[in-house]
Each structure stands twice: as structure tokens, then as C-alpha cells.
Amino acid sequence: MVRITKIYTRTGDDGQTGLGSGERVSKSALRVRAYGAVDEANAAVGAAIEGCRGCDQAERLGEVLRETQHDLFDLGADLCVPIGTGRGEEDLRVLPSQTKRLEGQIDAFNADMEPLTSFVLPGGTTASASLHVARTVVRRAEREVVSLLEAEPDLTNSETVRYLNRLSDLLFVLARSANGGDDVLWKPGANREG
């Protein structure tokens, strides 16, 4: 269990931060940027929960999104401790079963939706717009984690990328679901003059 008694430590005032392994690195390091982007994604998911309040599926969406927030904390903890630098078996790692759970949720929410005939514009209901914002923030986190994985493949759990990829897919499906099948579709060249 984590116990936090003091919020500020002053140890990061020089632009350095500590990884879960105890190593001090620059706050601009790829690993810090990656787990920082995951933290942003978690905050965006939290905002999406609030954006879904009052919608027809608020309870169901909130439950799925809260589960996701716990996974995103796991993912950040995973990235914070490079493979082989922590305590070993005690290190928290994202597992394929977590990604698989997302796939099941995608399939369940997508089962009753019509196939798309065009790309979807982010928006529609407030709930859908909030979920689309979360989806794009997760995509950015995924790009950061991919950069880290490319730079430090032996120190980074590749399941983190799969999880984020699937999470963005889930958020897309949830956004469509929140629109109740009334998606705002892209009309290519709609505003071009002849």
C-alpha cells in the first residue's frame, strides 16, 4: 500500500526525478514523458467519466472507465520501473489479461452498432465528445510509449503499447455508444469550393 504524507519534496526542483528503481533522471527523459503521458490519459478518462454523467449509459460507462483508470495507474507504475531494475517479482507489470479484458468490452459495446460508412467526427453528445478527447490523449500516450519501447526495448514491457492501443479503440467504441448510434460522420470535401 502506498502512503503519501508530504506532497512536495523539493527533490525535483533541479529538473530531475526519481524512477521507481531509485535512479535519478531528467524530467524530459523518454521514460518520464511516457508515464507522464499515461498520467494525462488517466486524467482525461476521469474527465470523461464526469462528461458521461447524466447520459443514458452513465453507470455502465463509468464502471468501465473506472476499471481503466486502475489499469492506467498499473501501466504508469510499470513504466516507472524499467525491467530488471526493480525488485523483480514484486514489480507491477501490465498483463495480457488486462488487454484481453478491453477486447471483450470492445466486442460487447460494438455488438449492437451499425458498421461505419465514413470516419466519425469527434462530438455529438457531451459524453461522446469527452470520450473522444480521452481517446486522443491515450493515442498520444501510446506514441510516447512506442518511442520509449524503441529506445529501450529490453527495459520496457511491450504489453503497455498493446494495452494503450486497445484502450483507444475501446474509447472510440464507447464514444459511438454514447451517441446512441447517431454519429457525426465526416463528409470529405464538404466545405471546398469548386
Q: What's the domain count of the chain?
A: 1
Domain that holds residue 114: 24-84+92-178
Domain membership flag for residue 79? yes
Q: E-assigned strands of the chain? A: 16-18, 24-26
Taking only the tens place, the pLDDT of each residue in 19-42 is: 777 788 777 799 999 999 999 999
Distance CA(35)–CA(41), nearest Å, equals: 10
Which pLDDT score, from 0 to 100, does residue 26 have? 74
Domain membership flag for residue 16? no
Domain membership flag for residue 48? yes
**Contact predicate 79/155, CB 8 Å:** no
pLDDT confidence tier of residue 161, bands split at 50, 70 and 90: very high
Residue for cell digits 453507470? 59
Domain membership flag for residue 105? yes
1 pLDDT exceeds 70? no
Domain membership flag for residue 116? yes
Distance CA(120)–CA(109), nearest Å, equals: 17
Domain membership flag for residue 73? yes
Three-state DSSP at 183 gives: coil
Mean pLDDT, to the nearest integer, of 168-184? Answer: 92
Output the domain CATH number for residue 46.
Answer: 1.20.1200.10
Domain membership flag for residue 194? no
More confident residue, 154 or 21: 154
Domain membership flag for residue 42? yes
